[in-house]
Chains A and B, each alone.
Chain A
Amino acid sequence: MSHSPKKITAQDIELPQNSLWRKLPLIGVALAVIGLGASAGIAWKGGKLHPQFYFSYLVAYAYWLSLALGGLFFVIVQFAARAGWSVVVRRIAEHAMLALPAFAVLFIPIALGLHDLYHWSHAEAVAKDLVLQDKAAYLNTTGFYTRAGAYFILWFVLAWYFWKKSTAQDESKEAAATKRMQIVAGPSIVIFALTLTFAAFDWIMSLDPHWYSTIFGPYYFAGTTLAIFSFISLMGVLLQRSGVLKDVITSEHYHDLGKLIFAFTVFWAYIAFSQYMLIWYGNIPEETVWFKHRGGAWLGMSIFQGVGHFAVPFFFMINRTIKRFKPTLIIGALMVLTVHYFDMYWLIMPTYHHHGPHFTIVDLTTFVGVGGVFLAVFGYGLARHKLIPAGDPRLKESLAFKNI
């Protein structure tokens, strides 16, 4: 009310010429080459890649893809809800979703490793298995590739549309672009929800082809939202550390991001427990087998999901001061981003390592490699455009935003 909107200068919303952020694309490419090169080098045995490579790669892929998908989700939801508060942090999510097309290329190793990853892709295994024969109408190689192609085309169209329109608005300043994106955002949510759900079914759930869980899509979705809220908080603080966005992103915006991390921690736990309790109650062998694979030597990591992914972040992020104070918010965000990796690991790895978690160097190198690609694209966007959507008609509202 009595707050006059802050004056933004070019130094506030553009990276300095000598900033290390401008080298992020280069650093990302270097990490990608080193990471993926080392992974392939280590896993190359007897003229082919060891299956460990494909599983490690899938974990890394699922992790970084969740950030890109989370970015897309964040952007379309802000437009669908016509949100004003989030304008100053939206650009970070926009550059994250820009990485989605790159994941089409990154999908190649998964497509190549199809037979190492997915039991249902073996014709002789299906011939001996009545359940897989019943599922063959959906779980077959042609369908798998076709669907993957469809996801990537739709993700590319959505990410490109919103990214292009939003960055073009920086100069054009036309309010009509915002109106247009608000209209497109509605149907985009439907497309996003369906593609994410089926991608999670195809790429992660079908690792255990007898097992199914209708809530699996939301489970992966909960992870993507947590990842992007944490990523935005982290990037916001890091960018401010290097001298930009001062007084643009305030503790009010961090408070809201913290509230979202807190809320979606509960959402994740709600989904994860719902999945577990129904299967536990029903006690049907083809459903319980999935959790049986996550007992035994995996039990420690299963319990860690409940403690690290829910209890600790929940009681940590519940406090108002912690959400508003940058260092503590960052501790929470890093905690979530770390535990999210173990969540992906826990979903995927038991299919390969039945006898307990077994970390290898390839887990690390694939993580660095895929992450390098993601960061390269993210940095590419960051270096080329203003750090906030400077032409958004709601920018003033966002700058003056206050929690009640």
Chain B
Amino acid sequence: MANIIKIRNISKEYNMGVEIVHALRDVSLDIDKNEHVAIMGPSGSGKSTLMNILGCLDTPTKGLYEFNGLNVSKMNDNELARIRNKEIGFVFQTFNLLSRSDALHNVELPLIYAGVSSGERKRRAKEALEQVGLGDRVTHKPNELSGGQRQRVAVARALVTRPSIILADEPTGNLDSKSGDDILNLFRELHEQGNTIIVVTHEKYVAEHSRRIISIKDGLVESDVEIENSRVPNGMREELTA
């Protein structure tokens, strides 16, 4: 069984001075290789905290987190940075590209921290940009690209290290519905190519594009269901029926 993520009874508490906030209480879940999962919940549900822990940006207060068999919950900052670099590709709601660098350098960035040589970096970054359909926008800076294009640069950046999972936090939140559908469609393709994708969202519509929906509420897993017929993005459906 190819278990990428194994979480057992994790809790996260924030000390807010006067009171302790329990963002997560005793959450357990497993995510396998090549799954397409949506983590869904309203704001304040603890889904962002879960996403930060899954993404190794943060560690749980209690409980066990194993990533590819490695105990992440006990790692120090630099070890976590290494896991983020090699194993996780992030896609953020606000794209989070470096505004002064062109698309190519943005995509190259994680490879720099992975110690890949310059020529190899350029080649792989270009390849990733072509994969998301931006082969002709390599030298454009983020402010010369549309929102959808920016998010595709971000997806290319997430793909370029060939990570174990792609973790997307509200990837369509800042996009119009057409561009949003494009991104969801891209995720679907990437999933079909064998990638493991985790999308964190509060939108039912977005969550329904995945194969499994984990609902979080008040720091607890409310439901965890497989979807037989996941939604096909609008644009796609027309293509399929045509």
Partners in one complex: no
